[in-house]
A and B are shown apart, each in its own frame.
Chain A
Amino acid sequence: MNKRKLGRGVTIVGAGMTRFGLFKDRDSKDLFAEAFTEMLGSVDRGVDPAEVEALYIGNFSNDYFARQSHWAPLIADVIGLCPKAATRTEGACASSALAFREGVFAIASGFYDLVIVGGVEDMSKRTTEEVAEGLALAAAPYESRAGFTFPGVFGAVATAYFDRYGARREHLMDITIKSHRNAPLNPKAQFPFTIRDAMQAKAESLRKRGQPVPDWKDEKDFLRDPGVNPMVAWPLYLYDCCPISDGASCLLLAAEPIARRFTDDPIHVIGIGQGSGRGFHGSSDLTTFEATRHAAQEAYAMAGLAPRDIQFAEVHDCFSIAELIHIEDLGFFKPGEGYKAVSDGQTRLDGPKPINTSGGLKCKGHPVGATGTSQLYEVWTQLRGQAGARQIPQADLRFGAAHNLGGTGGTSTFTILERR
């Protein structure tokens, strides 16, 4: 592995995001304006927006979802950047991780000193069926033509994983329960409630309607109830799937030599990797994503770190099974061991390797193009000790990472950040 290095250091000196959710009365530029405003407020010593030199914006498919293409200049206009350069990147669900990467390279090359990177998606103006059809545009063409949906692709991955390693549906429930435990602690989350909260709310609504309330004995018993948690694509059920969301997120990147003009606590980009993968027809092993393994190797080599050095991570849990695959592909756990580690509590907020402290895509929401930079927002927030109720209790956080997956494994990125 070639240990590629950045030409010069790049840091994150500001971060902002909207709450993720369904915002019927706002579109992408309105959402990005909110994320941008929060980002400006997050810069410890402030920033004059006139100093920003360029924008890189990730967006998957507003063309389809909002019937409007060419969002980069529209967003540049809203944040007062015109006539400076604005570029859109597309990598399905990894679109804004690609925007981040372009911004990092632009600064590392010495061309720019200060850029905004971010992402946005506006999905709630279409029906669920239309959104599903739009998302399927990012699958491999043979998959969608055979009748695979996005949940279907990951359902098939789950059957292959279960068959090889002996995991069961109950192990996926442990991931869902864990993510829902983190979500109420995140004010940006679309679903800020625990599974136990959902149980109580469901019981109350049944009682109000005079209907019998099942006697669920625990969270898993509740999740086994098809009246609450219907099958979407075997062995995945509703609570295994991330929701449809609107939202925006952005980061302010600064060249390392000028970072301290903005803050005494910049977060350094020390590892950055990206990979490409084939669909099912080109993969000999469905329990791993080759793109993720490649991205991780690149990032670890650049940072000079091993998986054990990463203290916490956000990973792309578009479906519960995906989180399992990723924590193994990223080297946090051996192949076939991830589900045992999850069920053992190792990935909880108070465990030795917290995963998706934000609640993940499952609970925080997944406005496709906004997800990548929102994951980095979470890592930035945790490293700076500003995560409030969901702050990781380990003292002296130094290394955190974010993993973003596009489509059915076609694009994957892994980014390692350091607090110095």
Chain B
Amino acid sequence: MTTRPFSDVVYHQFLAEEKLMGSRCNHCHARYVPPRPLCPRCLRGDLEWEEANGRGRLVAFTCIAVAPPFMAAQGYGRKKPYVVGVVELEGGGRVDARIEGVDPQRPEDIRIGMPLKVKFLHLRDVEPPASYLAFEPL
């Protein structure tokens, strides 16, 4: 669908366009999200972009109370923890993402295996503007 390089930069450009994109190997058909410059199985660069359907399930998570500077700048921290997790995508691939729509104050209620759908977070008041991958309960 496009010949943009299979790079992290382009992956993040797609997130800004609200598309979760990965690389599909034309040889062995394995899919990787985020994309990879070479298929790690065949070590070939014969790839095409494929959009994930945006559904997945939670395989691990944490609620962070001691935030890194870029999250602290958004008001997150001890008084306002946030949730991040690892999501296994339908169709293949695992991504690290923010998890929204769950209560960071009640981590014991968050369930591994819960179905999720993609959501895109856009920070417009930072320079340069940044987009982040997030998921919320389906």
In the complex, are the beta carbons of B95 and A281 less than 8 A apart? yes
Q: CB within 8 A of B68: which of A132, A140, A281?
A: A132
| B66 and A146 contacting across the interface, CB-CB below 8 Å | no
Q: Is the interface of A mostly helix, strand, loop or mixed?
A: helix
- Chain B, interface size category, equals 35 or more
Of A226-234, A244-252, A380-388, the one contacting chain B is A226-234
CA A152 to CA B98, docked complex, whole Å: 12
- Closest Cβ neighbor of B82 among chain A residues: A147
A259 at the interface (CB under 8 A from B): no
Q: How far is A283 from B97 in the complex, measured between Cα atoms in Å?
A: 15
1/0 contact string of B53-78 vs chain A (CB within 8 Å) = 00000011111111111111000101
Q: A141-B8, A146-B96, A156-B85 are in contact. Are A234 and B112 (CB under 8 A)?
A: no
For A162, the closest partner residue in chain B by CB is: B112
Q: Contacting B132 at CB < 8 Å: which of A145, A152, A158, A280?
A: A145
Min CB distance B20 to A, Å, is 13
Which size class do A's interface residues fall under? 35 or more
B115 CB-CB contact with A under 8 Å: no
CA of A145 to CA of B84, assembled, Å: 11
The interface bits of chain A over 114-140 (1 if a CB of B lies within 8 angstroms of the residue's CB, else 0) are 000000000000000100110010001
B137 at the interface (CB under 8 A from A): no
Q: Does B66 contact A151, Cβ atoms closer than 8 Å?
A: yes
Instruction: Decide if B117 is an interface residue (CB 8 Å cutoff).
Output: no
Interface hub of B72, B76, B94 (most chain A Cβ within 10 A):
B94
The digit string for B77-110, where 1 denotes a CB below 8 A from any CB of A, is: 0100110111000000111111000000001000
Q: Smallest Cβ distance from A151 to chain B, in angstroms?
A: 7
Chain B residues with CB under 8 Å of A232's CB are 64-66
Residues of A within 8 A of B86 (CB): 156, 160, 280-281, 286
Cβ of B64 and Cβ of A281 under 8 Å apart? no
**Given the interface contacts A231-B81, A235-B107, does A147 sit within 8 Å of B65 by beta carbon?**
no
Complex Cα distance, B73 from A147, in Å, reads 12
Q: Which residue of A lies closest to B74 (CB)?
A: A147
Cβ-neighbour of B84 out of A132, A136, A146 (below 8 A) = A146
Question: Contact at A160–B60, with CB atoms within 8 Å?
Answer: yes
Question: Do A281 and B65 have beta carbons less than 8 Å apart?
Answer: no
A37: chain B residues within 8 A (beta carbon): none
A133 vs B67: C-alpha distance when bound (angstroms): 10
A window 49-88: CB within 8 A of B? none
Q: Mark B28-65, 1 if CB is under 8 A from A, else 0.
A: 00000110000010000000000000000001111111
Least CB distance from B2 to A in Å reads: 21
Known A163-B112, A283-B94; contact A147-B59, beta-carbon cutoff 8 A: no
Report A276-293 CB contacts with B as 1/0, cut-off 8 Å. Answer: 000111111010000000
| B69 cross-chain contacts in A, Cβ below 8 A | 129, 133
How far, in angstroms, from A153 to B86 measured CA to CA in the complex?
10
Q: Is the CB of B60 within 8 A of A159?
A: yes
Please report the C-alpha to C-alpha distance between residue A280 and residue B62 in the assembled complex, in whole angstroms. Answer: 13
Question: With the chains together, A147 CA to B93 CA distance in Å?
Answer: 19
A233-257 vs B, CB cutoff 8 Å, 1 = contact: the mask equals 1111000000000000000000000
Which residue of chain B has the shortest Cβ distance to A235 in the bound complex? Answer: B107
B60 engages A233 (CB within 8 Å): no
Which residue among B40, B63, B97 has the maximum number of chain A CB atoms within 10 Å of its CB? B63
A144 within 8 A of B: yes
Q: Is the CB of B66 within 8 A of A132?
A: yes
- Of chain A, the residue at the smallest CB distance from B36 is A282
Contact B96 A142 (CB under 8 A): yes
Taking the nearest CB of chain A, how far is it from the CB of B69, in angstroms?
6
A160 touches B112 (CB 8 A): yes
Asked if A148 lies at the interface with its beta carbon under 8 angstroms from chain B, I say yes
- Interface residue A265 (Cβ < 8 Å from any Cβ of B): no
Q: A230-B78, A233-B64 are in contact. List 13 more A-B contacts (CB 8 A).
A: A132-B66, A142-B34, A146-B98, A147-B76, A149-B67, A151-B64, A156-B60, A158-B62, A231-B63, A231-B81, A232-B65, A234-B61, A281-B34
The 8 A-B pairs at the shortest CB distance, nearest first, are namely: A155-B62, A146-B96, A234-B63, A156-B60, A234-B107, A160-B60, A163-B112, A156-B62
